[in-house]
């Protein structure tokens, strides 16, 4: 299987995925790293690992759908089977999601369905939760909504700062996301409605 990772920024989750592929934990080829941001450090990480990169900017396209259509054409040319979103800051169009049904994964820094959106860590910290966490889920046409693959809780201590909580969350993401991708690549995830069953290997 071939997959692509989409990233808009630093690419720390991408780095964890690259290393898991290199260790043989993810039995799939990371064929393309895509970004909507030419300055994304994720592109540099990919280049250093010898992975093909693709960068298309939304402002160069008339509509969201024409932008997503162009991305899909490139992915199909590369024979991409599935996609992992890793800090990709754009919401995919329904057209895009339909092109890769139940084949797009995402990592979110809260225990969904709580604290959806771009600021999951900050929002949960500001709200004053005692427990937050990480969710890996399939992507559907609604934001942060698809069936949940894996979740892990993270306790918020009395002394916690936003920075320390962010670091804790990222550590869990870097461990949990490659695990979920590996399960998908091994054909061990079965979706039943909103539930995801993990099959024995």
CA–CA separation, 189 vs 192, rounded Å? 10
Q: How far apart are CA 82 and CA 51, in angstroms?
A: 16
DSSP labels, 48-59: HTT-EEEE--GG
How far apart are alpha carbons 147 and 108 in whole angstroms?
13
Active-site residue identified among 41, 74, 108, 145: 108
SS3 at position 143: coil
Annotated catalytic residue 108: yes
Is 167 in contact with 154 (CB distance < 8 Å)? no
Q: Could you list the active site residues? A: 108
């Amino acid at each position: 299987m071939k997959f692509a990772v989409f990233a808009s920024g630093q690419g720390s989750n991408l780095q964890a995925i690259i290393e898991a592929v290199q260790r043989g934990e993810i039995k799939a080829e990371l064929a393309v790293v895509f970004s909507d941001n030419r300055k994304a450090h994720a592109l540099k990480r990919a280049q250093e690992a010898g992975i093909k990169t693709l960068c298309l900017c939304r402002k160069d396209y008339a509509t969201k759908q024409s932008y997503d259509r162009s991305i899909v054409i490139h992915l199909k040319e590369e024979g991409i089977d599935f996609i992992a979103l890793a800090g990709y800051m754009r919401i995919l169009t329904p057209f895009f999601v339909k092109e890769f049904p139940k084949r797009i994964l995402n990592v979110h820094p809260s225990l969904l369905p709580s604290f959806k959106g771009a600021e999951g860590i900050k929002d949960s910290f500001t709200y004053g939760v005692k427990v937050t966490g990480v969710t890996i889920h399939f992507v559907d046409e609604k934001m942060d909504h698809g069936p949940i693959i894996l979740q892990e809780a993270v306790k918020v201590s009395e002394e916690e700062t936003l920075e320390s909580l962010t670091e804790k969350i990222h550590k869990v993401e870097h461990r949990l996301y490659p695990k979920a991708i590996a399960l998908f690549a091994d054909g061990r995830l079965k979706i039943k409605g909103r539930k995801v069953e993990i099959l024995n290997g």
